[in-house]
Amino acid sequence: MRGEAICQYKSMYSLKIFFLLLLLPGSLLVVAQDPVKPGGDTISVETNLVVVNVAVRDQRQRHVGDLRVGEFRILEDAVNQRILSFEHEEGGFAVAILLDASGSMDRKLSLVRSACSSFIEGIRDGDSFSIHSFGDGKVRLLQNFTDIRDLPDGLWDLQARGKTPLYDAIVEAASQLSRRPERRRAILIVSDGADTESRASLDQAVRRAVEAQLALYAVEISDQSVFGTAGQESGAGILKSLAEKTGGRFFRTPGGARLREAFAETVDELRHQYTLTYASTNEEHNGKWRGIEVQIDRPDLRLRTRQGYWAAGRKK
Q: Among 203-207, 269-273, 289-293, which stretch is predicted with the lowest mean pLDDT?
A: 269-273
Asked if residue 224 belongs to a domain, the reply is: yes
CA-closest candidate to residue 264, choices 129, 116, 150, 146: 116
Q: Could you report the per-residue pLDDT of 120-160, keeping only the tens digit for each?
A: 888 888 899 999 999 999 999 999 999 988 889 889 989 99
One domain, residues 34 and 154? no
One domain, residues 76 and 126? no
HSE on the CB side for 139, CA within 13 Å?
22
At residue 29 the predicted structure's pLDDT band, cuts being 50, 70 and 90, is very low
One domain, residues 224 and 103? yes
Query: Domain tally for the chain?
Result: 2
CATH number assigned to the domain comprising residue 184: 3.40.50.410
- What does pTM read for this prediction? 0.79
Distance, CA of 87 to CA of 230 (rounded, Å) = 43
One domain, residues 191 and 281? no
In the predicted model, what is the mean pLDDT of residues 277-282? Answer: 94
Asked if residue 75 belongs to a domain, the reply is: yes
What pLDDT, on a 0 to 100 scale, did the predictor assign at position 132?
96
What pLDDT, on a 0 to 100 scale, did the predictor assign at position 165?
95
Asked if residue 233 belongs to a domain, the reply is: yes
What pLDDT, on a 0 to 100 scale, did the predictor assign at position 313?
66
One domain, residues 192 and 289? no
Compute CA distances 187 → 144, 215, 266, whole Å: 14, 6, 10
One domain, residues 237 and 119? yes
Its domain, for residue 279, covers 2-88+273-310
- Tell me: pLDDT of 84 over 90: yes
Checking 224-229 for CB contacts under 8 A at 24+ apart, the result is 224/254, 227/104, 227/192, 227/193
One domain, residues 119 and 241? yes
- Tell me: pLDDT of 250 over 50: yes
One domain, residues 262 and 291? no
Asked if residue 315 belongs to a domain, the reply is: no
Distance, CA of 285 to CA of 4 (rounded, Å) = 45
HSE on the CB side for 98, CA within 13 Å?
30
Distance, CA of 192 to CA of 104 (rounded, Å) = 8
- Mean pLDDT, the chain, rounded, equals 81
One domain, residues 289 and 150? no
Asked if residue 179 belongs to a domain, the reply is: yes
One domain, residues 240 and 305? no
Asked if residue 316 belongs to a domain, the reply is: no
Q: Could you report the per-residue pLDDT of 160-207, keeping only the tens digit for each?
A: 999 999 999 999 999 999 999 998 999 999 998 789 999 999 999 999
HSE on the CB side for 276, CA within 13 Å?
28
What pLDDT, on a 0 to 100 scale, did the predictor assign at position 236?
86
Q: Could you report the per-residue pLDDT of 216-246, keeping only the tens digit for each?
A: 999 988 765 444 444 445 788 899 999 999 9
One domain, residues 143 and 229? yes
- Tell me: pLDDT of 15 over 50: no
Largest CA distance in the chain: 86
One domain, residues 31 and 59? yes
